[in-house]
Amino acid sequence: MEHKKIEIPYKPVWRFAMPVFEDSKRRGVIILNVFASFLLGELKKSNSFEIDIFDQDNHTLVSSKKNEWTRYLNLEKEINKKEFIYNNILFSGTSDEILYIGVVPKDSINSFIKLINFEIITLILIVFIISFLLAKALANIPKKLFDELEKQQKMLISQSKIAAMGEMTAMLAHQWRQPLNAISVLIQELEIKYSMKIINKQEFERISHSVNQKLDYMSKTIDGFRDFYKTQEKSESFNLVETIEKSFNIIQMKLKKSAIKSKITLLSGKKEDYFFFANENEIEQVFINIINNAIDAIDENCQENDKRFINVSLVLEDKKIEINFQDSGKGISNKVLDNLFEPYSSTKLEKNGTGLGLYMAKTIIEKNMKGKIFVENKELGASFRIILNR
Domain termination residue (choose one: 181, 198, 230):
230
d(CA 74, CA 71): 5
> Considering the entire predicted model, what is its pTM?
0.50
Task: Quickly count: other Cβ atoms within 10 Å of residue 16's Cβ.
Answer: 10
215 plus 254 within the same structural domain: no
CATH of the domain at 212: 1.10.287
72 plus 202 within the same structural domain: no
CATH of the domain at 270: 3.30.565.10
Range with the poorest average pLDDT among 117-126, 203-212, 256-265, 360-369: 117-126
212 plus 237 within the same structural domain: no
Task: Quickly count: other Cβ atoms within 10 Å of residue 308's Cβ.
Answer: 20
Model pLDDT for residues 72-113, shown as the tens digit of each residue = 777 787 777 777 777 788 777 656 778 888 877 776 555 555
253 plus 381 within the same structural domain: yes
Residue 7 lies in a domain: no
Q: Supply the range of the domain harboring residue 353.
A: 233-390
User: Nearest-CA neighbor of 316 among 365, 267, 272, 366?
Assistant: 267
Angle (deg, nearest 10), helices 280-301 and 201-229: 100
Paired strand residues for 62: 53
387 plus 263 within the same structural domain: yes
- Sequence-distant (6+) residues with CB within 8 A of 297 are 327, 329, 330, 332, 347, 381, 382
> In this model, does residue 118 exceed pLDDT 90?
no
Task: Quickly count: other Cβ atoms within 10 Å of residue 198's Cβ.
Answer: 9
d(CA 239, CA 349): 34
237 plus 186 within the same structural domain: no
Indicate the number of domains in the chain. Answer: 3
Residue % of the chain over a pLDDT of 90 = 22
193 plus 245 within the same structural domain: no
